[in-house]
Structure 1
Amino acid sequence: METIQQLKLYAKKVVQAGLVVGAGGNLSIREGDIMYISPSGFDLQEIEDHQWVRVEISTGKILGDLKPSSEVLMHLACFRKRPDIRAILHAHPTYSVAVSSTGNMIPPLFPDFPAMVHNVSYLDYVIPTTEILANAVADVISDSDVVVMRNHGVLTVGKTMKEAYFYMQLTEESAKVYVIACTMGKPRILTEQECQELRALSSERYRQTLLRNEVQ
């Protein structure tokens, strides 16, 4: 099944890229009114085909015996708010967590980040796995493809899992560049005009189209 293969592919990518450790992180893909989501307590790269949990998006009903990720409410909230998205990824990328825990935002320091990631929302710390967090994410997800949760992690959404994963990579790389730059001096942050000029480039719009249309 294509959906399962996509989930397995990006589950391994997330672990191999160091975006999660242990049994951390979760991801899901929508198929109609059904969400396929990683099971609770599993190392993402060790999930077998039959272990991805099916959940009805409209009702929250779990279809099967395994327990879904403890962040299932957050995934449901995003799918209910954003009928345009098909994939959700939640990870705990080191540099993004580090920068956000200081109260700072992750600034645009190189072209790819502002060109591809147009809106980032920041949430102050909310206890994970709760309805409180799910509601907080739901309040901002309509206008954002990236949500940075201070002292916790990052959530990205996309029309494909490839798009959601790319947003996660760019956010973490931007946080990493920022941390490194700060150790050497005061970073020059791209201006809003420079960011808008990047977003207007036809090459960047083409890349966005590829991310949203490709299968993997």
Structure 2
Amino acid sequence: MKLSFERQLIADYGRKLVHAGLTTGSGGNLSLFNADENLIAIGPSGIDYADVSAQDVVLVDRSGVVVDGRWKPSSELSFHLALYDQRPDVRAVVHTHSVYATTMACLHREIPAVHYLVAFAGKKVPVAPYATFGTAELAESVRTHISDNNALLLANHGLVAVGRDLPQAFNVAEEIELVARIYYQACSIGEPVLVADEEMDRVVEKFRTYGQQDCSKG
């Protein structure tokens, strides 16, 4: 099976989305770009994550043409393609309907630096204006507003997170859901005190090398 590794990852991380409470049923979507093959593995449209196997994952080329797979690709394929075109550093996209991030998206309220962990996305998580799901208008809204951020709220819709691989994109989605919940709860009892902009500059820089590094090199 072509790109069997990538297809299995999509199936596995689809189930992780549900288990982590980042979506329900078949909501949201995931994709993974293999630069060597110039192909994108993306989940099928409208199939519950619990029922998706590696064989169900669809392969498309950079223009969105299906090259392997028996199902229709995700209805949000167009904004996945737009993200890969806009950001050459991106190799994975995770789209969720996580409750707290989506609550902020329904308020058309960006997530500011209420907690330093927002640095998983950048100095804040901006909001892209509403457009109907699965449309070229939504793809263009995502393309226009992602900038150099690793997460973006989609107004009245949900969250999209990107990364150099699927684990990183998933981690961004998970951490930003936590920050969204903290922001929601802080706003419920008072006025949140934000992390200073210059401190966020330092944190964002530190996050560039956050996590385990291969100490055997260099």
Q: Is TM > 0.5 for Structure 1 vs Structure 2? A: yes
Q: Distance in 2 between matches of 1:199 and 1:81?
A: 21
2:140 is the alignment partner of 1:135: yes
Mean CA deviation greater in 132-141 or 149-158: 132-141
Question: Are positions 1:97 and 2:108 aligned together?
Answer: no
Deviation per residue, 1:56-91 (Å, 9 max, x gap): 11x321123310010011111111222221111111
Q: Which residue of 2 aligns with 1:112?
A: 117
8 A Cα contact 1:112 1:170, kept in partner: yes
Distance 1:140 1:173, change over 3 A: same
Indicate whether 1:30 and 2:33 are aligned.
Answer: yes
Q: Give 2:149's aligned residue.
A: 144
Q: Which residue of 2 aligns with 1:49?
A: 54
Contact 2:116-2:203 at 8 Å conserved across structures: yes
What's 1:62 paired with? 66
TM-score by length of structure 1 reads 0.88
Structure-2 residue corresponding to 1:122 = 127
Matched with 1:15 is: 18
Q: How far apart, in 2, do the equivalents of 1:175 and 1:168 lie?
A: 10
Letter in 2 for 1:151: N
Runs of 4+ in 1 over 4 A off after TM superposition: none
Structure 2, gaps ≥5 residues long: 214-218
**Aligned residue in 1 for 2:8:** 5
Q: Distance in 1 between matches of 2:59 and 2:146?
A: 22
**TM-aligned CA deviation for residue 8 of structure 1:** 2.3
**Where do 5+ consecutive residues of structure 1 fail to align?**
211-216
Q: Does 1:74 align with 2:79?
A: yes
Backbone CA RMSD of aligned residues: 1.8
CA deviation after TM superposition for structure 1 residue 103, in Å: 2.7
Distance (whole Å) between structure 2 residues aligned to residue 169 and residue 88 of structure 1: 13
CA contact (8 A) 2:30 2:43 kept: yes
AA in 1 matched with 2:8: Q
Letter in 1 for 2:71: L
Identity of aligned residues (%): 31
User: Where in structure 2 are the equivalents of 1:177-196 lying within 5 Å?
Assistant: 177-196=182-201
CA distance in 2, matches of 1:135, 1:192: 29
Q: Are the aligned partners of 1:107 and 1:174 in contact in 2 as well (CA < 8 Å)? A: no
Question: In the alignment, residue 66 of structure 2 is paired with which amino acid?
Answer: I
Deviations along 1:83-127, whole A, 9 cap, x unmatched? 22111111111111112222322122222223x321533112111
Residue type at the aligned position of 1:3: E
Cα distance between partner residues in 2 of 1:12 and 1:23? 10
* SS at structure 2 position matched to 1:50: helix
Q: Does the aligned pair in 2 maintain the 1:89–1:157 contact within 8 Å?
A: yes
Length-normalised TM-score, structure 2:
0.87
> Shift of the alpha carbon at 1:38?
0.3
- 2:166 alignment counterpart: 161
